[in-house]
Amino acid sequence: MHISVIGTGYVGLVTGACFAEFGVNVTCMDNDAKRIARLEKGDVPFYEPGITELVAKGLKENRLSFTTDIAKAVDKALVIFIAVGTPPKEDGSADLSFVEEVGRGIARYMTGYKVIVTKSTVPVGTGEAIRAVIKKTQQEPIRFDIVSNPEFLREGSAIEDFMRPNRVVIGADSDQAVAIMKDLYRPLYLIETPFVVTDVPTAELIKYASNAFLATKISFINEIANLCEKVGANVQMVAKGMGLDHRIGSKFLHAGPGFGGSCFPKDLAALIQTGERNGLPMQIASAASRVNQNQLRQMVKKIREATGDVAGKTLAMLGLSFKPNTNDLREAPALALGQELLAAGAAVRVYDPAALEEACRALPKLQACRDAYHAAEGADALIIVTEWNQFRNLDFERLKSVMRRPLLLDLRNVYDPQRVAAAGFRHVSVGRPP
Ligand code: UGA
């Protein structure tokens, strides 16, 4: 089978490279010529474990190719995945102009039956909108089907999530399209991955409901963490005690500085917007979003209280990307925190294994450091914002010898408070007694 993926962003490239690994012939198309030129040489423009190797393999074995020519991408493929961006508009709703443009491109060049699939997160109703755009643009009526096949992969473990997903969701209103999609995903069928086959709007909503639910779990535990601090309880034990109930589950109950990234904040906003448009306020999603914004303010307050006043202090921040194993800084709590601390008059020394340069471009007053120990030099506090593995086993003796004061603000609850205290550090974490 031959497929195309339009858009070589995160979702598009991972999808293309993974299907090539499944033995499918894949053409990835993007109208960014520079990006395509880089990809043709195997140069992946973002950090994700395993993707470079997979792209190189696909290129070498001639199952993966890149083009800027939409006609070429449409012509060969039976299945066309749309994986272009849906950036948020000012009111929180998603901007569908890129998706619609691709729809027009497909309509112009199709000469036979196609299955047209939305892969990136698109608001409920987008499938129907694409159908309308294609029908309107087609010179003559050629049959096609629309499918919603939302992606659930996480940055940092995208390849593994694609190859071993919890489920595959296929929203379609044609048996032929469902059969083609199942054929495409046959390797997953063989490992007994559950398939959820439904209609297009339901599949679109499954994606938003899933992300909003996960975001709600995080906001819920963050609110409980703040209460723990007031009543002297330990949020990690509360989460453990809750999570052992199979109906609740232990995942996504880690308290911290709040969720970031390109998905949760944007998808919550889009869901809230969809609710409003339909006269049905999404009250829980709205609360999850509000609690998340408040959590960042809580972190600033925590840092201020622990350091006395941040003005004139030197603070060392470890971890800048919105989570470990990625260089993605979109909605990263660390950037928002850095901005607040700089504005309050602190000097902020920073280190991140993958996002350092980009973070310092975004906030030029941040002082880039070589590693955690360099960042800690002369610091009044060391703040762990993102829990990269290399920050999980720091040498406290070495840190103490270079810092002005031995204070650790552990915003991801990485360390056991007793171990930190035994090393002679004051330890402030989230939702746990000191
Ligand atoms: C999220 C979803 O987990 C994926 O299933 C989905 O496919 C993706 O969005 C998407 O829609 O494309 P991602 O944004 O890559 O994936 O990252 P997550 O691992 O979900 O983390 C999101 C944020 O929540 C991070 O800032 C992380 O630090 C935070 N988080 C996560 C917590 O604060 N506590 C937790 O317990 C879990």
Separation CA 102–CA 328 (nearest Å): 25
ipTM for the predicted complex: 0.98
Q: Which residue, by CA, sits nearest to atom 19 of ligand 1? A: 154
Ligand 1 centroid, distance to 301 Cα (angstroms) = 24
Separation CA 161–CA 145 (nearest Å): 26
Select which of 228, 263, 360, 369 is catalytic. Answer: 263
Ligand 1 centroid, distance to 264 Cα (angstroms) = 7
Give bridge partners of residue 384 from the DSSP assignment. Answer: 318, 410
pLDDT of residue 91: 83
Angle between helices 264-277 and 200-231 in degrees, nearest 10: 120
* Segments in 141-185 forming alpha helices (H): 158-163, 175-184
Q: What is the CA radius of gyration of the chain?
A: 24
Q: Pocket around ligand 1: residues whose beta carbon is below 6 Å from it?
A: 121, 151-155, 211, 214, 218, 252-254, 256, 259-261, 263-264, 322-323
Separation CA 425–CA 413 (nearest Å): 15
Phi, psi of 254, deg, nearest 5: -95, 120
Domains parsed from the chain with CATH numbers: 2-198 (3.40.50.720), 232-434 (3.40.50.720)
pLDDT in tens, 257-296: 999 999 999 999 999 999 999 999 999 999 999 999 999 9
369 annotated active-site: no
- CB under 8 Å to 241, separation ≥6 — which residues? none
Amino acid letter for position 257: P
Residue 114 assigned ligand-binding role:
no
pLDDT values of the chain reduced to their tens digit, one per residue, 434 residues:
999 999 999 999 999 999 999 999 999 999 999 999 999 999 999 989 999 999 999 999 999 999 999 999 999 899 999 999 888 888 877 889 999 999 999 999 999 999 999 998 899 999 999 999 999 999 999 999 999 999 999 989 999 999 999 999 999 999 999 999 999 999 998 899 999 999 999 999 999 999 999 999 999 999 999 999 999 999 999 999 999 999 999 999 999 999 999 999 999 999 999 999 999 999 999 999 999 999 999 999 999 999 999 999 999 999 999 999 999 999 999 999 999 999 999 999 999 999 999 999 999 999 999 999 999 999 999 999 999 999 999 999 999 999 999 999 999 999 999 999 999 999 999 999 88
Q: Which residue, by CA, sits nearest to atom 23 of ligand 1? A: 259
Closest among 2, 52, 51 to 28, alpha carbons compared = 2
Three-class SS state of 27? strand
Closest among 315, 368, 318, 366 to 339, alpha carbons compared = 366
Separation CA 325–CA 1 (nearest Å): 33
pTM, to two decimals: 0.95
Ligand 1 centroid, distance to 62 Cα (angstroms) = 33
pLDDT of residue 88: 81
Residue 323 assigned ligand-binding role:
yes
Separation CA 25–CA 18 (nearest Å): 11
pLDDT of residue 94: 82
Separation CA 370–CA 207 (nearest Å): 39
